[in-house]
Structure 1
Amino acid sequence: MGDKRLQPPLPRAEPRIRVLHDHVTIDGYRWLRDRDNPDVRAYLEAEGGYAEQAAAHLSALKAEIIAEIEGRQLREGALPSFQVGPFEYFQRHEQGQSHPRWWRRPAGGDRAELVIDPNVLEGAEVFYRLGVFEPSDDGRFVAFSFDVIGDENYELRVRDMETGRDVWQGSRRAAMVAWASDGHTLFFTRERPRLRRQCNELIRLDIATGDSEVVFEEANGYLEIRVRRSDSGVWLFLDVIASSDWSSPVHMGAAEVWCIPADEAGGKWRRIVRRELGCNIYVEHWRDSFLFRADDAGPSCRLVRAPINDPSPSSWEEVVPHRAGVALEEVHILEKHLVVLEREGLRPRLVSRDGRGGVGATIVPEEPSCTLKVGLSAGGIHSVARHPFRSSKLVYSISSFVTPDTVVEHDLADPRSTVLYQARVPGYDAAQYVATVVMAKAEDGVQVPISLVARRDRTNPGPVLLNVYGCYGSTRWPSFMAARLSLLDRGVAFGWVHVRGGGELGRPWHEAATRDRKRITYTDLIAAAEGLVDIGFASRDAIVIEGSSGGGGTVLATAALRPDLFCAVLAKVPLCDILDTEMDFMMPYALQETAEYGDPHIAHEYRYLRSYDPYYNLSADRPLPPTYVDAALDDGQVLYYQPARYVAQRRSCSADRDPELVFRMRMVGGHSGASHGPSVDEERAFRMAWTLDHLRRSSS
């Protein structure tokens, strides 16, 4: 690692004793939670200084990778506009500006007017991320939210396009928004401070008067709410969902659904799905019916319809039956077409149907594993993708390990496809790379899929970087990343391991690795690595594992189980102290974590969780592979001191302070890293240079 005389920092320990279920735990680093303590800042800066010195010998390689990343930046082209009411909205990135500005023009017209310039927002020069961008039907108002800190508390504003002024601005805890059709009533969800990171209140805001009121509140801390408008625009839906289920960002199954006509904003919300039904349901509107995607007949879901005036299960009429192994993931409505996104294994397909359920066009990407999205989104974290309702033209986007982001328009009435946009990456030749899916046998015989990409001329076996998440039923699909080419072109293959605990193969895939079965997530990752060695794809001494957030906890827990199998570990903003997170319900997601990992207040669940918790399984007699850890001071999901405590504890458990462990704290930005500027490329280049260095050293 360069200069052997370097000595990692070690903060002082302040032992704190906790007794739970007759088990004594001593924690010496709880004091790192006090960010106002100057000793905390001094320690974080010392760790950053050590990381830079320890990686100083990689400066030339890092600079080379940064130059490569900059050379692959998109030079031309812009995403297509999307239409709301009489206007088309689009972004334009102008030279010298940090962030693209929002513009609009009349549909079919040429003259554009500025809507929002994020560059003038106070703080956006340091950090900026969009939450939502939602115009009203008539275009008079635009609701938008943003975060200029990185803590994911989005400030909501409403701009009057007649005056160009913001006529309303509210709390920094707004999430999803939906306009009523009257053009002046806005509904939005808001997080309650005592239930951090959960949306439990629905607010109705009258822009004309400035009056607002809470119209719905969910008291169950295991549930949260989301508001949306039907594809037809006729209805508003309120979904009450399990907050521990991240299976889909939008088309998530709800335990309970309420609705109101979009033209009756002041009316009474009607409950059309009761939580007593005991299944997960997504509702849409088509013609004279409600459509329900429900898992009542099996986990892969079926599609049923019911009259609007009687949506009870006794009136359900099946449109698409449940099919084992074929997941019905999303439902999209055009005026004359019903489109469902299905997935068989890892491969997605779009299937259009008529009003009776008869199959029309079927769109199947050539990619064996890819990201497929319907509609166009404003790109904000809470933005909803949209597509024109009164049209036969379906817009979708595709991205994979080898295919840069591509937007396609497919005419369902006259089957033709037109590419509206494709990212152009300078110097990229897709023919030089190959993507595939291989299977690895888990401990219990279950086949675990791995999505892989490598250069065609790569020599097998060779080095592999495996990324993983494996939590909350969240899905992770391959997508294109130009920066990744710097690894592929140096002979390193890249893979997504779709371990159980994630949701790639449906709800059972998630439920197979939760609570007292959570270790299956980690043994699946081990099986994937060993499987790639067995088929001659990966070199046994050249496997690196990488994960972010919950996935960061996954790789740390897995490395503790099999430290001999991995030559290095990349843990980005890792959830690495699961027990402590769940013991403090003021922590982000603490309550939801119990559904995933188990409740430590229950003795047998505590003992099981304690057996793999990364923080509490550190010891002097269990050396771990070289590890990169990072965190962000303003992270609103994994708080900065969670990774910091892990690093401090790990150093204290090692006689030499574990010099192969590096820790970087970002002083700007949040959970997803910097939003713009040189630090974005520097962060990626540092990790890649560090990874390449350890792959080289392990095989030399």
Structure 2
Amino acid sequence: MEKSKPRLKSTVTLLSACLLAATGCKTSDTTTATATTEQTSTAPETSTTPQPPVAKKIPKELTAHGDTRIDNYYWLNERENPEVIAYLNAENAYTQQMLGHTEGLQKKLFDEIVGRIKQNDESLPYKEDGYWYYTRFEAAKEYPIYARKKGTLTASEEIMVNANERAAGKQYYAAAGMNVSPNNQLVAFGEDTVSRRKYTIRFKDLRTGNLLQDEIPNTTGSAVWANDNKTVYYTMKDPALRSFKIYKHTLGTPTSQDKEVYHEADETFSTFVYKTKSDKYIIIGSNSTVSNEYRFLDANTPNGTFKVLQPRERGLEYSVDHFGDKFYIVTNKDGATNFKLMQTPVTKTGKANWKDVIAHREDVLLEGIEIFKDYLTLQERKNGLTQIRVKKWNDPKADHYISFEDEAYTAGISINPDFDTQVLRFDYSSLTTPASTYDYNMATKQRELKKRQEVVGDFNPENYEAKRIYATADDGTKIPVSLVYRKGLKLDGNNPTLQYAYGSYGSNTNPGFSSVRLSLLDRGFVYAIAHIRGGQEMGRQWYEDGKMLKKKNTFTDFVDVSEFLIEQKYTNPDKLFAQGGSAGGLLMGAVVNMRPELYKGVLAAVPFVDVVTTMLDTSIPLTTGEFDEWGNPANKEYYDYMKSYSPYDNVEKKDYPNMLVTTGLHDSQVQYFEPAKWVAKLREMKTDNNMLLLNTNMVAGHGGASGRFERYKETALQYAFLMNLLEENK
């Protein structure tokens, strides 16, 4: 619902909305298929005890660097094969059989979770160009209504897009990129009805309420307006779902006439487009894990030519915003590992002209900036926690930090479209404080709580306690752990504990509030976030020490935290559970291979587990852009290292914990066949009688079901799985 706005000015350009994740499943550089040696039923056998599906085995040789791996379940990547669908359905049926006795508990959990959500709710409005923009929900409706009011909040409502109406009759629906034209008369938005994150951009005349005939398929969902109110720029995806081209479209003309304005030919890069907060420039960016490049064009001259701000250099990362006659650049130039802020004239943009505004600091990570007429605000991270710093352009003595009191919390700069204001809007949350939005007067240092997430029911934050502790890794590194639990916890080693982590892409797992989590805490659970290496909580080096040839630090850190929680009497192996999704699902696969005896149960969501095969296949979405995250296995050193930890390649004949693995048939990031193959191989190899369940959402993708309520059915299933295992201990 906001106008074209700069992308997050972050040091981690790979982060994207949800959850940034790993890639889908792929083949190696040399593959040879052999004949079917086993054909076994995908349907459970008739028995008093439900029997799991057994996937047939069709050995396929995958050869690279003279090393041959045999993948018996490679055939499961045939999405259109009826046998594959039958197998997935059989696994779903088996999961329902094994957890059928928990259906009452699942319903109770789902009702609890949904019952805490305010039915009629709306976001905090923000003002831009004379309009107040907000989203709102209606009781029992799954999707938001994007709306605005002109001048004052008492004015009549204008509904821009009612997603409930747009989603009618669809199994999946997602809207994105709600961008209003500079003259406030048109809105562009993207729609995905498959869950592959391929959006069709549509346009609506806000004066008449009618959709225009213009439709642009296969995009990222966002259209960026030039200042003429008729020209838009958008990003096209290639068959591997990489954002690879920027096009220019003129309203009222066929898309076949759209002009390609930029092609990112390097497959290790992806491209995007945005408009600066000043509305002065259209910016085209290209990014890889370790390099960036930007082009700019005056938004008043859409037929002009984009100019390169600073050519890409491997190892040089930077992001760009504009104010006055300067570009402001967050960059790692000159060895600024934790990034610094620089500026350069718009007429001299090469790095030789960049001047320091905020110098590099060894103990502070600069995550992003927000520019105002009289103030500069910075989002920083120190000792694992976010900070917001306020500077006045012409008064260095006014430099100060906004204070926060919780031991573990998250804070961040919110939506601030207005340049000429003394008020900064920021968001705040902690493990015991619901999501809160404040308006902060940068001159008086006074803050006003504008909105706090309402938790329906008898929630009282005073009933819960949060703390930050540190586990010690084998190499002596201190690993932060954020904990939350109901007050009165006894450290007797008998508390059920769910330990969560992600640990990839420099993505931070911030200790924020979750009303969903209350269903665990109120049943005596401890919830622990392990801030392991591979994230960026403790600075950029924290990320560098958990990627590429140091990736195993991510896994051993998680294990070390688990052992620490047991040593400190928070829990024991019969009550410790592990959870991770996507790249965090890779983490789950690695730790159950390394230390399966530490965990009673594991929740692995959309897990990236077939690392070697995936990273060798450049036709699968996102792979080429991630060589600087995991390494390129075309290089034998990286091949050998990946193979040494890849969960699928390291499944052994041994006992594994109880596991619930979830995925989506249309996942565009971790293809469904990775978890399907992994479960099939675990079934073949494991020597225990523990539960191993695969649940596939047959109509959804990486993020699961769409809608604000439907998604919690999977959460209820996961929680019921954990609680069922606890009952077995009694």
Residue matched to 1:264: 301
1:411 and 1:279 map into 2 onto residues whose CA distance is 35
> Would you say 1:33 and 2:77 are equivalent positions?
yes
> Is contact 1:75–1:424 with CA below 8 Å preserved after alignment?
no
**Matching of residues 418-457 of structure 1 within 5 Å:** 418-426=448-456, 427-457=458-488
Q: 1:313 to 1:637 in 2, by over 3 A?
A: closer
**Matching of residues 146-225 of structure 1 within 5 Å:** 146-167=191-212, 168-193=214-239, 196-207=240-251, 209=253, 211-225=257-271
Give the root-mean-square deviation of aligned CA atoms: 2.1
**Matching of residues 585-596 of structure 1 within 5 Å:** 585-596=618-629
Cα distance per residue 1:261-289 (max 9 Å; x no partner): 22222212111222138421122222222
**Matching of residues 513-662 of structure 1 within 5 Å:** 513-620=546-653, 622-654=654-686, 660-662=691-693
CA shift, 1:356, in A, is 4.8
1:696 and 1:120 map into 2 onto residues whose CA distance is 43
CA shift, 1:536, in A, is 2.7
CA shift, 1:655, in A, is 6.1
CA shift, 1:138, in A, is 1.2
Give the letter for the 1:401 counterpart.
L
Structure 2 SS opposite 1:170: strand
| Worse-superposed segment, 197-206 or 355-364 | 355-364
Residue matched to 2:373: 335
Residue matched to 1:406: 436
> Is contact 1:567–1:626 with CA below 8 Å preserved after alignment?
yes
Residue matched to 2:107: 63
Structure 2 SS opposite 1:390: coil
Q: 1:670 to 1:335 in 2, by over 3 A?
A: same
Residue matched to 1:250: none
Give the letter for the 1:291 counterpart.
Y
Structure 1 SS opposite 2:448: strand
Q: 1:125 to 1:479 in 2, by over 3 A?
A: farther
> Would you say 1:389 and 2:419 are equivalent positions?
yes
> Is contact 1:575–1:638 with CA below 8 Å preserved after alignment?
yes
1:412 and 1:471 map into 2 onto residues whose CA distance is 35
2:223 and 2:708 map into 1 onto residues whose CA distance is 29
> Is contact 1:124–1:148 with CA below 8 Å preserved after alignment?
no
> Would you say 1:484 and 2:533 are equivalent positions?
no
Structure 1 SS opposite 2:596: coil
1:677 and 1:134 map into 2 onto residues whose CA distance is 22
> Is contact 2:388–2:412 with CA below 8 Å preserved after alignment?
no
> Is contact 2:121–2:137 with CA below 8 Å preserved after alignment?
no
1:433 and 1:96 map into 2 onto residues whose CA distance is 29
1:649 and 1:265 map into 2 onto residues whose CA distance is 55
- Which of these residues, 280, 294, 299, is aligned with residue 234 of structure 1? 280
* TM-score of the two chains, using structure 2 as the length reference: 0.88
Structure 2 SS opposite 1:172: strand
> Is contact 1:348–1:364 with CA below 8 Å preserved after alignment?
no
Cα distance per residue 1:527-575 (max 9 Å; x no partner): 1111222233333432111001110111111111011111111100111
Q: 1:197 to 1:437 in 2, by over 3 A?
A: farther
CA shift, 1:357, in A, is 7.3
1:125 and 1:85 map into 2 onto residues whose CA distance is 34
Aligned length: 675
Q: 1:677 to 1:397 in 2, by over 3 A?
A: closer
> Is contact 1:370–1:398 with CA below 8 Å preserved after alignment?
yes
Give the letter for the 1:653 counterpart.
M
> Is contact 2:268–2:627 with CA below 8 Å preserved after alignment?
no
Residue matched to 2:16: none
| Worse-superposed segment, 491-500 or 184-193 | 184-193
- Which of these residues, 344, 358, 368, is aligned with residue 407 of structure 2? 368
Cα distance per residue 1:63-105 (max 9 Å; x no partner): 3222321321225542112333232222232235332222222
Structure 1 SS opposite 2:562: helix
> Is contact 2:126–2:133 with CA below 8 Å preserved after alignment?
yes
CA shift, 1:617, in A, is 1.1
CA shift, 1:208, in A, is 5.3
Q: Percent identity?
A: 28
CA shift, 1:407, in A, is 1.2
> Would you say 1:346 and 2:377 are equivalent positions?
no
**Matching of residues 289-304 of structure 1 within 5 Å:** 289-296=326-333, 297-304=335-342
CA shift, 1:677, in A, is 7.0
1:207 and 1:213 map into 2 onto residues whose CA distance is 13
* TM-score of the two chains, using structure 1 as the length reference: 0.92
CA shift, 1:510, in A, is 1.5
Q: 1:338 to 1:643 in 2, by over 3 A?
A: same
2:139 and 2:515 map into 1 onto residues whose CA distance is 21
1:429 and 1:366 map into 2 onto residues whose CA distance is 18
Q: 1:683 to 1:315 in 2, by over 3 A?
A: same
2:158 and 2:108 map into 1 onto residues whose CA distance is 41
Cα distance per residue 1:464-504 (max 9 Å; x no partner): 11111111222221222211101011111112211111222
Residue matched to 1:249: none
Give the letter for the 1:174 counterpart.
T
Q: 1:513 to 1:681 in 2, by over 3 A?
A: closer
Give the letter for the 1:260 counterpart.
L
CA shift, 1:625, in A, is 0.9
CA shift, 1:216, in A, is 0.9
> Is contact 1:98–1:125 with CA below 8 Å preserved after alignment?
no
Q: 1:541 to 1:605 in 2, by over 3 A?
A: same
Residue matched to 2:58: 14
> Is contact 2:188–2:222 with CA below 8 Å preserved after alignment?
no
2:666 and 2:284 map into 1 onto residues whose CA distance is 31
Which segments of 5 or more consecutive residues in structure 1 lack a partner in the other structure? 246-253, 377-385
Q: 1:357 to 1:466 in 2, by over 3 A?
A: farther
Which segments of 5 or more consecutive residues in structure 2 lack a partner in the other structure? 1-46
Q: 1:207 to 1:628 in 2, by over 3 A?
A: same
Give the letter for the 1:180 counterpart.
A
> Is contact 1:473–1:503 with CA below 8 Å preserved after alignment?
yes
Residue matched to 2:138: 94
Cα distance per residue 1:319-367 (max 9 Å; x no partner): 2111111111111111221111111122212112122572434213223
| Worse-superposed segment, 130-139 or 66-75 | 66-75
| Worse-superposed segment, 201-210 or 345-354 | 201-210
Q: Which has the higher contact order (CA 8 A, sep 6+)?
A: 2
Cα distance per residue 1:20-70 (max 9 Å; x no partner): 223221111122122322221221111111111111232332232223213
Give the letter for the 1:399 counterpart.
S
Q: 1:505 to 1:227 in 2, by over 3 A?
A: farther
> Is contact 1:175–1:190 with CA below 8 Å preserved after alignment?
no
Residue matched to 1:144: 189
| Worse-superposed segment, 359-368 or 27-36 | 359-368
- Which of these residues, 469, 472, 475, is aligned with residue 502 of structure 2? 469
